[in-house]
Amino acid sequence: MKNTVERKKGIQRSKTIAEMAEESVIQKHGILRRLNLFYEITSRVDGAESYNNVLDVLNSEAKRLISYDVCVIGLLNDAKSHYIIHTIPALSEISDLTRNYFSIDEGVLGWVIKHQASLIEDINSGPVFSEPIEGKLRDLGITSLLGVPMKTGKEIVGSLIFGSSKPAFYTEEDATIANFLGLYLATSLKYASSFQKERKRLSQIELINAVTRQLSSMLQLDDLLRVAACAIQRTFNYFDVTVLLLSEDKTELILEAHSGNFADFLPHGYKQNVDKGIIGWVATHGEKVLSNDVSQDPRYIVYEYHNTKSELTVPIKLDNEVVGVLNVEDTKLHAFDEIDAMVLETLCDQLGIAINNAKLYDELRQANMKLTELDKMKSEFLGMVSHDFRSPLSSIMLAARSLLKNKDIQNIQRAKEYLQLVVDQANRLNKLAEDTLSITKIESGQLSYYFKIVNIDRLIQDAVSMVRFSSKHKFEYRVEPNALFIMGDQAKLRQTLQNLVSNAVKYSPSGGKTSILCEEHSSTEIVISVSDEGIGISPDKVDKLFKKFSRIDTDQTKEIKGAGLGLWICREIIQAHGGRIWVESEPGKGSTFKFTLKKMHHSEGEITFSHQHDA
């Protein structure tokens, strides 16, 4: 009781001299003076653009019209079932209220709203008074109450209560003025509300675009959902956002991403049966749920440590089928409206598309990974087989070659022919094994190059010595003196040249001359050309020559064996040397394969030569 008296005194003491003077002015000039004042105030503050604007008007001007110690405004929600209160002045005692959100069945503000009528009462007398609001007012020393509805035509938007510490303070005249004020405020608030809604809608559209832009470029599903939850929560300033996806068998929702204040509450991967909770209902029915007071929603599951009051859940659909839900929660009652629902529905449409893209990408990646794995295994196998092939083949070739040189054998024509056959076929097999090994090494990035000074003259001789010319074939070569040395990998360049020379012979079935020319190409490059007088290549086929396994299928090439690997390998080797390879050809006349190599730098030569001398 002592406390109450003190507070009561506090309010009386807080009145300024100016306020008291104003009070007496009001009393003197009567209704006409007050209506004039009302007109002056309302025409000055016309066009308030937000709730706060309207409340400011009330705060700064209303006291000049109606004397009060406390003014409380109750603003109705869209559903007209509850109201939120604002107090003027925002007394700390009033903000001690355990809540600021009430049903229209509660309190004097609720009574005025429900009955759409004015009221002049003593706080201790009427049956309409209830503890949550009036109890507090009583604590503050309020005794007289004046309540009026805030109405625009037929629509009620809230109620307005004035409280005074003086007993039996308010008159019928005060009620008339307060009713005018209620009408004015209701109209302003309605205008402010639609203005605010429109502004919110516009800014939401811009924000939706911003979030959608972020999502459209994401292909990793985990990242996508995480970024989506985070972007939606931060951009729209929601209290808590979760994204849950349906399990394969559609019996459970799995928590995939979380952002906000409850983030530590449910673990990643948390599962909830679809027959439970608001989220389960949304997943099974494919419709959104907007619950601004979850305690009134029987579908809501109460969590012990969760103080959710409002929940908005929207389905994420793909081709009309629910794949998951987006869930937004708040610890305030009536935290969401239809604009929030519209925003989340638009975002979920986008999220559905983005999830689909990410899933497709993931399937592709998995398939690719399998293929890469298979390809690796195949390469390893081929590499191993071709490697193991070569040593027995070398022994066979060596044995057959030495037998061929044997005088006794040379005298037996049949034996000589057979042996030659063994050497030729073993050579072919050897080339195939060598090509396969090169391919697997190139593809797995394991082909190493050992660069040193290469003498082109020697290189040509080495390569040619490994190609068998028939009596119909002639060979000649020329190396210009200023193109005699280059830096390169001797073995691989030999392999390249050998491939080109053996092709020149192979694709000249009627014989002819094969020539190699090595000359300067530019100040930095030399060019080596391998020409033949064989079948040639038609211009439209030239493009595919250097591709793997590509062979040109014509009547003339039908009988010529090959795997279509040689030129691909040549190109890889030449490119690794920083050069280019191409062909100039005329069908029926012959072909010239040309490749460039970088000229040796003067300084490179000097250093390496001195090394050679030392050796």
Single residue of 567, 573, 597, 600 touching ligand ADP by CB under 6 A: 567
595 binds ligand ADP (CB under 6 A): no
CB contact set of 456 (below 8 Å; sequence gap of 6+): 479, 483, 484, 485, 486, 518, 526, 528
- Rounded to a whole number of angstroms, the minimum distance from the CB of residue 570 to ligand ADP is 8
**Residue 379 CA to its chain's centroid (Å):** 35
- Rounded to a whole number of angstroms, the minimum distance from the CB of residue 511 to ligand ADP is 13
- Rounded to a whole number of angstroms, the minimum distance from the CB of residue 431 to ligand ADP is 8
564 binds ligand ADP (CB under 6 A): yes
572 binds ligand ADP (CB under 6 A): no
State both tokens at 277.
């909770």
> Which amino acid would we find at residue 296?
Q
Residue 324 vs 590, nearer CB to ligand ADP: 590
Q: How many CB atoms lie within 10 A of CB 7?
A: 17
Q: At what angle do helices 17-44 and 172-216 cross, to 10 degrees?
A: 60
147 binds ligand ADP (CB under 6 A): no
Single residue of 214, 420, 557, 608 touching ligand ADP by CB under 6 A: 557
For residues 214 and 458, what is the distance between their CA atoms, to the nearest angstrom? 62
Minimal CB distance residue for ligand ADP: 562
513 binds ligand ADP (CB under 6 A): no
- Rounded to a whole number of angstroms, the minimum distance from the CB of residue 537 to ligand ADP is 5
Considering only 233-241, 289-297, 460-468, 500-508, which stretch makes contact with ligand ADP by CB under 6 A? Answer: 500-508
DSSP state at residue 170? -
Q: At what angle do helices 221-235 and 172-216 cross, to 10 degrees?
A: 160
Residue 342 vs 560, nearer CB to ligand ADP: 560
- Rounded to a whole number of angstroms, the minimum distance from the CB of residue 503 to ligand ADP is 4
- Rounded to a whole number of angstroms, the minimum distance from the CB of residue 608 to ligand ADP is 32
- Rounded to a whole number of angstroms, the minimum distance from the CB of residue 270 to ligand ADP is 59
DSSP state at residue 157? E
- Rounded to a whole number of angstroms, the minimum distance from the CB of residue 498 to ligand ADP is 11
Residue 423 vs 583, nearer CB to ligand ADP: 583
Single residue of 507, 521, 533, 595 touching ligand ADP by CB under 6 A: 507
Q: Return the SS3 of 285.
A: helix
Considering only 55-63, 138-146, 333-341, 528-536, which stretch makes contact with ligand ADP by CB under 6 A? Answer: 528-536
Residue 431 vs 599, nearer CB to ligand ADP: 431
Q: Return the SS3 of 219.
A: coil
- Rounded to a whole number of angstroms, the minimum distance from the CB of residue 552 to ligand ADP is 3
**Residue 238 CA to its chain's centroid (Å):** 20
* Sequence-separated contacts (24+) of 605-610 with Cβ below 8 Å: 605/453, 605/485, 608/452, 608/453, 608/487, 609/453
Q: How many CB atoms lie within 10 A of CB 259?
A: 20
CB contact set of 168 (below 8 Å; sequence gap of 6+): 122, 144
- Rounded to a whole number of angstroms, the minimum distance from the CB of residue 592 to ligand ADP is 9
Which residue reads 């509300």 in tokens? Answer: 193
Single residue of 278, 504, 528, 574 touching ligand ADP by CB under 6 A: 504
Is residue 271 within 8 A of residue 247, CB to CB? The reply is yes
Q: How many CB atoms lie within 10 A of CB 197?
A: 13
For residues 8 and 450, what is the distance between their CA atoms, to the nearest angstrom? 99
Contacts (CB under 6 A) with ligand ADP, residues 158-187 = none
Considering only 120-128, 196-204, 375-383, 497-505, which stretch makes contact with ligand ADP by CB under 6 A? Answer: 497-505
For residues 316 and 299, what is the distance between their CA atoms, to the nearest angstrom? 19
532 binds ligand ADP (CB under 6 A): yes
386 binds ligand ADP (CB under 6 A): no
**DSSP-assigned beta bridge partners for residue 93:** none
**DSSP-assigned beta bridge partners for residue 147:** 119, 161
Considering only 25-33, 47-55, 381-389, 496-504, which stretch makes contact with ligand ADP by CB under 6 A? Answer: 496-504
Single residue of 35, 97, 563, 576 touching ligand ADP by CB under 6 A: 563
466 binds ligand ADP (CB under 6 A): no
7 binds ligand ADP (CB under 6 A): no
566 binds ligand ADP (CB under 6 A): yes
Considering only 115-123, 387-395, 439-447, 498-506, which stretch makes contact with ligand ADP by CB under 6 A? Answer: 498-506
Q: How many residues bind ligand ADP (CB under 6 A)?
A: 20
Residue 529 vs 608, nearer CB to ligand ADP: 529
Contacts (CB under 6 A) with ligand ADP, residues 573-592 = 591
335 binds ligand ADP (CB under 6 A): no
For residues 350 and 328, what is the distance between their CA atoms, to the nearest angstrom? 17
Q: How many CB atoms lie within 10 A of CB 177?
A: 22
For residues 70 and 90, what is the distance between their CA atoms, to the nearest angstrom? 9
Residue 128 vs 463, nearer CB to ligand ADP: 463
Q: Which of 612, 499, 530, 525 is nearest to 577 (CA)?
A: 525
- Rounded to a whole number of angstroms, the minimum distance from the CB of residue 512 to ligand ADP is 11
Instruction: List Cα–Cα distances, 132 to 96, 113, 202, 603, in angstroms.
Output: 11, 17, 38, 96
For residues 535 and 479, what is the distance between their CA atoms, to the nearest angstrom? 26
Residue 276 vs 544, nearer CB to ligand ADP: 544
Residue 332 vs 580, nearer CB to ligand ADP: 580
For residues 325 and 55, what is the distance between their CA atoms, to the nearest angstrom? 38
Residue 319 vs 559, nearer CB to ligand ADP: 559
For residues 308 and 294, what is the distance between their CA atoms, to the nearest angstrom? 7
For residues 319 and 337, what is the distance between their CA atoms, to the nearest angstrom? 27
Is residue 336 within 8 A of residue 292, CB to CB? The reply is yes
DSSP per-residue string spanning 366-393? HHHHHHHHHHHHHHHHHHHHHHHHHHHH
Residue 24 vs 554, nearer CB to ligand ADP: 554
Instruction: Tell me the pairing of strands 101-103 and 119-122.
Output: unpaired
Single residue of 233, 379, 503, 596 touching ligand ADP by CB under 6 A: 503
The contact mask relative to ligand ADP for 534-553 (x = CB under 6 A, - = no) is xx-x-------x-----xx-
Considering only 172-180, 212-220, 338-346, 561-569, which stretch makes contact with ligand ADP by CB under 6 A? Answer: 561-569
Residues that bind ligand ADP (CB under 6 A): 499, 503-504, 507, 532, 534-535, 537, 545, 551-552, 557, 562-568, 591
